[in-house]
Structure 1
């Protein structure tokens, strides 16, 4: 049977009965189904946190690889580690997975980073702080923020 081209739908039905979309070979449609899981993990490890979260929503296969691999979350958590070292270390000692550790400390890291960069330096009262831009921080963190404010 010859290849049948349907121009209206950009679908090509091949002799083998497989379909391709927009002229792509079926082998190229989802690398995670063709590559060993370790290779897919290596590819996903190159993504930033936002992209990794979006990739996990792409399909069941990608979600399974991303959600089931602590290594991917560890890489992302290391960026938070520089900001919330004590909290991250405490979570790890308590047996939390890297993903749980990341989720628990990511927001704190963002808030602390904003304070240290001076984003809230000109705020005169708690009412001026944008909603959802605060979270509980430890005394050590507040000490670092105070030092940074005094240097400004």
Structure 2
């Protein structure tokens, strides 16, 4: 299905691979930029994606998945944004040899829940039935100590 521009009603179609890269062998089925560009360019493009978009792109096709999976640095920047909230957990995972991607996935929900607790989102809940399902994530004693200190200061 082709997209159509609203103003001029002309179909929006990419140029043929053979006109963009005349020296490359034309693959009739491939309109995939990852197959047409050097890996460095693909990494730069994927590096601009937010975490949700990067995960979605990894599920798009095999060639995208291979590039994203082989680009450990693509996950590093997202992981480092979580480090502000889960410094100890991320540093421990990295010290234990986990990849940036695994470290990110191990700590993503923990950081979201910890941020919610620290921001006071759950401060005025009077019983456990008022807590959302994912509010109780397994966290270490130090993390619960931080949360308790924040609650006591409120």
- What TM-score, normalized to structure 2? 0.78
| Aligned 8 A contact 2:82 2:108 in 1 | yes
| Aligned 8 A contact 2:86 2:107 in 1 | yes
Q: Which aligned runs of 4 or more in structure 1 are off by greater than 3 angstroms?
A: none
Distance of 1:89 and 1:34 partners within structure 2: 37
Stretch moving more, 133-142 or 107-116:
133-142
- 1:97-120, Cα deviation, whole Å (9 max, x unpaired): 111111111110010011112111
Stretch moving more, 78-87 or 128-137:
128-137
1:101 to 89, 100, 103: 103
Stretch moving more, 29-38 or 57-66:
29-38
How far apart are residue 142 of structure 1 and its match? 1.8
Stretch moving more, 88-97 or 123-132:
123-132
How far apart are residue 35 of structure 1 and its match? 1.4
- 1:64-92, Cα deviation, whole Å (9 max, x unpaired): 11122111111111111111111111111
Kindly tell me the number of residue pairs found equivalent between the two proteins.
134
2:28 is equivalent to residue 26 of structure 1:
no
| Aligned 8 A contact 2:113 2:134 in 1 | no
Question: Which residue is 1:75 aligned to?
Answer: 77
Structure (1 or 2) with the greater strand fraction: 1
Which runs of 5 or more structure 2 residues have no equivalent in the other structure? 3-10, 21-30
**What root-mean-square deviation, in Å, do the aligned CA atoms of Structure 1 and Structure 2 show?**
1.9
How far apart are residue 32 of structure 1 and its match? 1.4
1:40 to 27, 39, 42: 42
Question: Which residue is 1:50 aligned to?
Answer: 52
2:146 is equivalent to residue 140 of structure 1:
no
- What TM-score, normalized to structure 1? 0.79
Distance of 2:69 and 2:135 partners within structure 1: 27
How far apart are residue 37 of structure 1 and its match? 0.7
How far apart are residue 22 of structure 1 and its match? 4.9
Question: Which residue is 2:120 aligned to?
Answer: 118
